[in-house]
Structure 1
């Protein structure tokens, strides 16, 4: 297995795709390209540029505010960017497929999985798979995929934009859309290992979810308005967490749910504080980035900005320690919200990644949802997390 990364900050989207693809494919015979761009780009033109250089399938999405590659943080704020990692292994087979959203996300997941199997020409379970979806129905797409192939380990993240306005895009070859799902199935004897973590510290602030609406609106904790309870936990008042103020305030103080065996704490990002149009606080709710379930425990977590930065190097250390093969590349999914919290110190993340990658190619993307598993847990979708995957060389 070989990997290579290319990127571009050219203003013309077609030329950006060409430059990215030429750099990523030089000396390579790619089996697949994983492509990430800015919402400022014309996605169809970037894909056309990439496809003018390489014939292999290409899957990806928009990344929030930039990407990180060995050369540095790539972000042309006025006209966008593109970056791609290609994988080259004569012994590997891939299958790709995508679908726009519809009425039944689980059924769409099933159809996409079947289409990816057919694309690979191998009607058997893959060794590993990558998923990208819009930040809305990830859990249901995943269920549908697993209805077809079972619990195969996976990695990936949700499409993102720069302002949480729904301007994100997903792409799979000639398809470009804002709402739906795409997958890459990998058939390989090379190792894929994912470290999936929030790397937050637990606090003593724990309660029972007593009210949920539409899967992702946390109505109440311990019978108390969720926003009121959360404000109490982090030492503030609900009026300071209204609307999108909650999104920034919760980056260092998110919520988390544990899997049944305690192997994994999956982060739930409080995104929007909704006062329900009333003047009282007893009905204020929290809109989350992922699903929660009534009668389960939810806890408040915490981390400093220093810890958010250091967690990237620490996650890479875990990947390197746990892999049994030398790494050919690293595919690093980093929450866009964590990036927002890190702010202008993002170059410190680059320094950590370069140090731990030690010359091996990598690409870091910034998502609005991260996917993975830990210590034989179920596959899961969370927010404010890291999903760092090492790809084995031999």
Structure 2
């Protein structure tokens, strides 16, 4: 197992891939067995995929857009055209990637994509150690259900919802076969060394909680039989505004005031899975970036800039400790909404991760939804979350 990470600030596809190829040492090492290529939407996804196939040459090519850019050992690049790569050479392991449009049935599309990825890896019918996932925002829960139907409920599924710079829908996903705007890329990883992953948030519950009494999909109508927007405005002491006569985007205001559901209890301590309020409607309904269900108990969560800055380093520290061995590389998922909320302090976030990972090659992406496995639980989709997945450098 050998891992390298690379970044480019070139700002264009050809120059960026030339930088990536040079840093990865492809002329000496040859094509990696797996490469995750993440990028800001200032780079054209179709052009990037076409050239990456030629320049990098990896059959298991996994591409996804990231809000404003990426981060890694060279620092934070959120100028709008950043490009980063995370490459694995592992002759003893197996890797496969496939992609698909979500279509009318995202569950079925996920089943098809993961089955094709397993076939490409030469491991049909087997259960991978890890699935690295990039999916368009909107139907992540359905995608996870489809993946679990094929690989089981215990398989580690980690990744993030592809993002753009302003929630205008310019996000992109690509695999070896195609580029998508409303699709998914599924990579199955059977590494020859151990893997550990930690999935957390930087938020704490307040005293305010209630029951979902009206919901349809991701549109929350009522909490405790009251208009959801009115309740959120009250619980946040006015920080989360209500709509007037037109729908109102509240992503920025609600970033420090999301909703949380208890997904798991660990040693008596609740783990809250977060849902980010996105749009307030004149009728009092609120659109979320994750689904809640009728009868769910939900809490008003609260975070601070300090908690969001510090949490990434703590997550990396816990992942390192859980691996209990030397690390060959790490993939970090940091919510794009959190990044935008602490944009002027992202060098501190990066430094916190670096302090825990040391000289380890790593790549961080900024997403509009995060997938991971809470302690003692199966894979989940949440918002405003952070994950760190580390790969061991030696056989178990």
Selected match of 1:137 from 131, 136, 139: 139
Q: Deviations over 1:127-157 (max 9, x none)?
A: 2111110001111111111111112111100
Structure 2 residue 309 is the aligned partner of structure 1 residue 309: yes
Partner residue in 2 for 1:85: 86
Selected match of 2:76 from 70, 73, 77: 73
Distance 1:356 1:44 in 2: 35
Q: Deviations over 1:98-120 (max 9, x none)?
A: 10121111111111121112111
Shift of residue 62, structure 1, vs aligned partner: 0.7
Structure 2 residue 354 is the aligned partner of structure 1 residue 354: yes
5 Å-filtered alignment, 1:224-239, equals 224-236=226-238, 239=241
Moved more, 13-22 or 188-197: 13-22
Structure 2 residue 258 is the aligned partner of structure 1 residue 254: yes
Shift of residue 244, structure 1, vs aligned partner: 4.9
Moved more, 256-265 or 86-95: 256-265
Partner residue in 2 for 1:280: none
Tell me, which stretches of 5 or more residues in structure 2 are unaligned? none
Partner residue in 2 for 1:269: 276
Equivalent pairs, count: 384
Shift of residue 245, structure 1, vs aligned partner: 4.5
| Alignment check: 8 A CA contact 1:211 1:223 kept | yes
Q: Structure 1's 331 and 244: CA in aligned 2 closer, same or farther, altered over 3 A?
A: farther
Q: What SS class does the counterpart of residue 232 from structure 1 fall into?
A: helix
Structure 2 residue 166 is the aligned partner of structure 1 residue 159: no
Tell me, which stretches of 5 or more residues in structure 1 are unaligned? 276-282
Shift of residue 327, structure 1, vs aligned partner: 0.9
When normalised by structure 2's length, the TM-score is 0.93
Structure 2 residue 375 is the aligned partner of structure 1 residue 375: yes
Shift of residue 260, structure 1, vs aligned partner: 5.2
Partner residue in 1 for 2:38: 36
Q: What SS class does the counterpart of residue 91 from structure 1 fall into?
A: coil
Shift of residue 239, structure 1, vs aligned partner: 4.8
Distance 1:24 1:333 in 2: 21
Structure 2 residue 187 is the aligned partner of structure 1 residue 184: yes
Selected match of 1:207 from 210, 216, 231: 210
Q: What SS class does the counterpart of residue 378 from structure 2 fall into?
A: coil
Q: Deviations over 1:14-73 (max 9, x none)?
A: 332232233224454511100011111111222233222222121021110121111111
Q: What SS class does the counterpart of residue 120 from structure 2 fall into?
A: helix
Partner residue in 2 for 1:117: 118
Selected match of 2:129 from 105, 127, 145: 127
| Alignment check: 8 A CA contact 2:49 2:63 kept | no
Shift of residue 312, structure 1, vs aligned partner: 1.0
Moved more, 223-232 or 13-22: 13-22
Q: RMSD across aligned C-alpha pairs, in angstroms? A: 1.7
Moved more, 171-180 or 261-270: 261-270
Partner residue in 2 for 1:98: 99
Shift of residue 261, structure 1, vs aligned partner: 4.3
Structure 2 residue 71 is the aligned partner of structure 1 residue 64: no
Selected match of 1:169 from 162, 166, 172: 172
Distance 2:291 2:17 in 1: 35
Q: Structure 1's 238 and 61: CA in aligned 2 closer, same or farther, altered over 3 A?
A: closer
| Alignment check: 8 A CA contact 1:17 1:47 kept | no
Q: What SS class does the counterpart of residue 306 from structure 2 fall into?
A: helix
Distance 1:237 1:329 in 2: 39
Q: What SS class does the counterpart of residue 360 from structure 1 fall into?
A: coil
Distance 2:199 2:248 in 1: 26
| Alignment check: 8 A CA contact 1:18 1:50 kept | no
Distance 1:185 1:237 in 2: 42
| Alignment check: 8 A CA contact 2:264 2:376 kept | no
